[in-house]
Structure 1
Amino acid sequence: MKSQPSKLLYQTALGQAYLGDTLEFLPSIADESIDLILTSPPFALKRKKEYGNEDEDKYVDWFMGFASQLHRILKPEGSFVLDLGGAYMPGFPVRSIYMFELLVRLVKEAGFYLAQEFYHYNPARLPAPAEWVNVRRIRVKDSVNVVWWLSKSKNPKADNRKVLKPYSDSMKKLLKDGYKAKLRPSGHDISDKFSRNNGGAIPPNLLELANTDSNSSYQKQCREAGLKVHPARFPAGFAEFFIKFLTDEGDLVFDPFAGSNTTGKVAEDLSRKWMASELSEEYLKGSLFRFDNPILSTQSPIKTTSLKGSPYVSPQF
């Protein structure tokens, strides 16, 4: 069945959310107009999920259908951050390598550079897969997603001073007491600059972010409105880290697999412009609850009276 053309569902002061097939929506976006593409697409899993994941053996080809367009719309200094979950081979306790196959093709075929790899660790994730972790007890629980930070050029815009972490107690003591410059046993020459207070510690490429927002306003309002809560939301802290790290205020952030539109909400809170595309009408309807007074488009299939307790206002454009 042929998908319907994308339609503007709603907008805010800084962003726009489009309902429809992202593959058909992408050609309408201008060349080199996006500062950051930040997304967590449906993962490659053998077991079908309600959010529409692709089979592992077809996933890489499926995603590569988007790659050239994503490369085209990204600014020369822009970044593309892709969060991917792991998968086991069907019936066996051995891992799929689809994430790495996709990375190689995005670099070799689509023309992206790998700026840096990250690992998204969720300590609150339940033990899974159950067969190997809980029943047979031959694997530990899978709690890490790989995150590819890709870029269009070899020198993408980034500033780690925007994402500094609080100093540890030991570092605070070192800054207070001072540090004598010396050659470490490892061979690293630690200069007196090591004891300079830079306002915080440079974060590692392991992001520890628990997704525990089971009682969030978004979820409560979705339930009250009779809408499904998106089952695979990524934490706001994930989007916040990369938006701060890789963009400036006023830059444009795009999520091509928006889901419940965490990316758009965080971008708006950080004074960035945003654009979102999502295939599921129900999930995008629910994402309206993330915003104060979103404006429904005249193209929207939603009526302002269709959701209980609706905060929507009439379109002004």
Structure 2
Amino acid sequence: MHAYGAAHEVRNEDLYAGLVRNGAVDAGEIDTTSPVGRAAQRHSLGKRKVRWIQQTLRQLGVIERVPGRRGVWRAVAKKELEKAPRNLVRVAFSTDLGLALWSDCSAFRRIDEPIHLILSSPPYPLSKARAYGGPSVKEYTEFICRSIEPLLRNLVPGGSLCLNLSNDIFLAGSPARSTYLERLTIALEDLGLSLMDRLAWENPSKPPGPTYWACKERVQLVHTWEPVLWMTNDPTRCLADNRRVLRPHSVATSKLIARGGEARSTSYGDGAHRLRPGSFGSETAGTIPRNILRIPHEASSIAPVRRAALDSGLPAHGALMPRDLARFLIEFLTPVDGMVADLFSGWFTTATQAEETGRRWICTEQMAQYVALGAWRLQDAPGFHSSFDLTRA
């Protein structure tokens, strides 16, 4: 790839010579021929090895043949994401329940619709930003506060803000975690929000990491959860209702209810907790969920969208909020007739789950290619209409 990056077009013979010069391939491997196959025709095994790697790079989509020129290749031009022009707000697509805008989150300054839930997974403050970019740790608090401020003025009393954030941001060159989450929480309090909880999203399919500190230096444990920061503008009127997200009783609890509850009379924790005969004997609609949400990434649900991206030549978004996490938060925090807003839509998972649960939604996304894939995900929703051909963006 260094050879292809240094020139617009590279002949195979020049490639071989360059690899020999920089020591990547021995000259003897290139110049020596050996009998190959049943016909025992003589070929350079070194050149065959280089061409095999060349084909691998072609399959990865990073190099391509120069049309009409045998044995001449070039690097594929990097496809940059197309960001919405500044101050442009364009309707990308809509459904009977929702509206997707090709714009950054400043579009919400022009919207007066009451919002019941702001649900988003903002860019993480990574040391190496993904394709869509993102702020540094130092910039992060100001970036988030500036981004959500236009939405907060339309948040109804008791409405909620939920942000899926990263717990794995480390100080430079150190295994110590950054306290950016704490600083962000305090800054959001200054905007008039109150902390309701830090829900823990446990992802059992999360790859092992942090790779350096856990797998190489061995001073950290493997991470498996991310925080979901839940805040509201009025705790006394919070619209959350755990009856909307009750879970089925376990087999043991169902049997306990069936036999009329506990037969024992005892206490625990110096009397802080007491069991009396009949405790847990009443039939209920389900179990109240705990604040640790064990939800794996759902690769199968997003696979068709990834294939659509590949077929259309569109770049897929590098981060994914699982649909079950979005669905749980929407149902828990939003009444059925409520409005859900996402200012960093990415895969438009918030929109798909609002749609499926009967909530209205407004989403902004500033990268045209991601909006196109969002339209692909929602194309079967009632009343779907695409305002312009984003696949040409």
What's the TM-score, normalizing by structure 2? 0.72
Confirm or deny: 8 A CA contact 1:175 1:196 kept in the other structure.
yes
Q: If each structure's helix is expressed as a fraction of its own residues, which one has the higher value? A: 2
Question: CA contact under 8 A between 1:124 and 1:212: conserved in structure 2?
Answer: no
Residue matched to 1:79: 160
Matching of residue 47 in structure 1 with residue 128 in structure 2: yes
Structure 2: where are the runs of 5+ without partners? Answer: 1-82
* Distance in 1 of aligned mates of 2:305 and 2:213: 34
1:283 alignment counterpart: 370
Deviation per CA, 1:29-63: give whole Å up to 9, x if none.
Answer: 216x0011111100112222223221111111111
Where does residue 95 of structure 2 map in the other structure? 12
For 1:223, the equivalent position in structure 2 comes to: 310
Inter-partner Cα distance in structure 2 for 1:158 and 1:190: 29
Number of the residue aligned with 2:147: 66
Q: Which residue of 2 aligns with 1:200?
A: 286
Question: Which residue type is aligned with residue 62 of structure 1?
Answer: F
**How far 1:96 sits from its partner (Å)?**
0.5
Question: Does structure 2 conserve the Cα–Cα contact (< 8 Å) formed by 1:67 and 1:110?
Answer: no
Whether the 8 Å contact between 2:243 and 2:288 is mirrored in structure 1 is yes
Q: Is the 8 A contact 1:112 1:153 kept in 2?
A: yes
Aligned to 1:195, the other structure's residue is in SS state: coil
Counterpart check, 1:56 vs 2:137: yes
Match of 2:36 in 1: none
Structure 2 residue aligned with 1:263, among 345, 350, 354? 350
Higher RCO structure, 1 or 2 (CA under 8 Å, sep 6+): 1
1:296 corresponds to 2:386: yes
2:152, 2:264 → 1: CA distance? 45
Distance 1:96 1:6 in 2: 35
Task: Give 2:257's aligned amino acid.
Answer: L
Percent identity between the two aligned chains? 29
Give the alignment of 1:120-139 within 5 angstroms: 120-139=201-220
RMSD over aligned CA atoms reads 2.0
3-state SS in 1 of match to 2:268: coil
State the shift of 1:25 in Å: 0.7
Q: How far apart, CA to CA, are the structure 2 residues paired with 1:76 and 1:228?
A: 39
C-alpha separation in 2, matches of 1:15 and 1:181: 53
Q: Which amino acid aligns with 1:20?
A: S
Shift of 1:173: 2.0
Q: Which residue pairs with 2:330 in the alignment? A: 243
Q: Secondary structure at the match of 2:129?
A: coil
Cα deviation, residue 139, structure 1 = 1.2
The answer to whether the 8 A contact 2:371-2:390 is kept is no
1:189 is matched with 274
Task: For 2:143 and 2:124, locate their aligned partners in 1 and report how far apart those are by CA, in whole Å.
Answer: 11
The yes-or-no answer on 1:170 pairing with 2:260 is no
For the pair shown, the structure with the greater C-alpha radius of gyration is 2
Q: Which ranges in structure 1 are unaligned for 5 or more consecutive residues? A: 308-317
Q: Distance in 1 between matches of 2:111 and 2:263?
A: 54
Sort the Cα spacing of 1:302 and 1:179 in 2 relative to 1 into closer, same or farther, 3 A. same
- Partner of 2:263 in structure 1? 180
Report the residue type matching 2:124 in the other structure.
F
Report how far residue 183 of structure 1 moved.
Answer: 4.1
Q: Structure 1 residue 220: deviation in Å?
A: 2.1
Letter in 2 for 1:262: T
Q: Secondary structure at the match of 2:228?
A: strand
Deviations 1:164-219 (A, max 9, x none): 11212221221122313634222213454522221211100011111131563222
CA displacement at 1:129 relative to structure 2: 2.0
2:203/2:295 contact within 8 Å kept: yes
Counterparts of 2:324 and 2:292 in 1: how far apart (Å)? 13
Question: Is residue 198–residue 227 contact of structure 2 (8 Å, CA) maintained in 1?
Answer: yes
Q: Find the aligned partners of 2:373 and 2:267 in 1 and give their Cα distance.
A: 54
Tell me the matched-pair count.
300
Given that 1:67 and 1:106 are in contact with CA atoms closer than 8 Å, whether structure 2 keeps it comes out as no
Structure 1 CA distance for aligned equivalents of residues 265 and 153 of structure 2: 48
